[in-house]
Amino acid sequence: MADVEALPRTPPQILGPFYPFMHTPIDGGDLTNGGKAAGTVLHLSGRILTDDGAPIVNARIEIWQANTHGRYAHPNDTTTQPLDPAFHGFAVVHTDAQGGYAVKTIRPRAYQVSPGRWRPAHIHFQVDSSSERLVTQMYFEGDEYNATDAWRNSTVRAGALTVDPTPRADGSQEATFDIVMMRA
């Protein structure tokens, strides 16, 4: 019998104050509205896996985030950063037969939550398999606020939540973010 070590589960993170309950998520995974949204396009993909490495098929993934200016389309976000009417910061996608998902979005920017206190750029995820829900956040390597963010550092495994996008020839970027849950 093979001695298979379980994959470490993706650390959970807080839901946060900007969950877009008042909006309908777009289907299809293009948050950029066909590339009209401002900012750097990010092609984000990955797989949802159980901790024994099996793909979780037809998992439901909600993604929500700030725009390129660090602003959420949410009444709780009272900052003065501009909204981007072309950016739809809330989407739902489902994993395919290999547990894979893909979205086209915009790299969000860090935002100030109180005087002198900033959150690093991040994207929120809520993933539902048929038996489990995981709420987490994905961060970006090199963000100057990563090291001081209490939420990101609520886990010692923040590295598992952090991607380092690579550039494409067209000026966009791509990154892979896999998520490990316990059960399909």
Stretch that binds Fe ion, among 14-22, 29-37, 89-97, 153-161 (CB under 5 A): 14-22
Q: How many residues contact Fe ion, by CB under 5 A?
A: 1
Stretch that binds Fe ion, among 10-18, 22-30, 43-51, 167-175 (CB under 5 A): 10-18
Minimum gap (Å) between residue 64 Cβ and Fe ion: 8
Confirm or reject binding of residue 100 to Fe ion (CB under 5 A).
no
**Residue pair 4/49 in contact by the 8 Å Cβ criterion:** no
Stretch that binds Fe ion, among 4-12, 15-23, 79-87, 152-160 (CB under 5 A): 15-23
Nearer to Fe ion, 89 or 99 (CB): 89
State the pairing for strand pair 90-94/26-27: parallel
Residue 93 has which token pair?
Answer: 């996608």
Neighbours of 134 (CB within 10 A): 21
Nearer to Fe ion, 58 or 81 (CB): 81
Confirm or reject binding of residue 16 to Fe ion (CB under 5 A).
yes
Minimum gap (Å) between residue 70 Cβ and Fe ion: 9
**Residue pair 25/92 in contact by the 8 Å Cβ criterion:** yes
Cite the active site residues: 72, 111, 119, 122, 124
Nearer to Fe ion, 12 or 16 (CB): 16
How far apart CA 17 and CA 107 sit, in angstroms, is 20
3-state DSSP percent of the chain in helix, strand and coil, to 5: 5, 35, 60
φ/ψ of 5, rounded to 5, equals -85, 135
**Residue pair 124/63 in contact by the 8 Å Cβ criterion:** yes
Nearer to Fe ion, 101 or 111 (CB): 111
**Spacing of C-alpha 75 from chain mean position:** 20
Confirm or reject binding of residue 20 to Fe ion (CB under 5 A).
no
The residues that touch Fe ion, with contacts defined as CB under 5 A, are 16
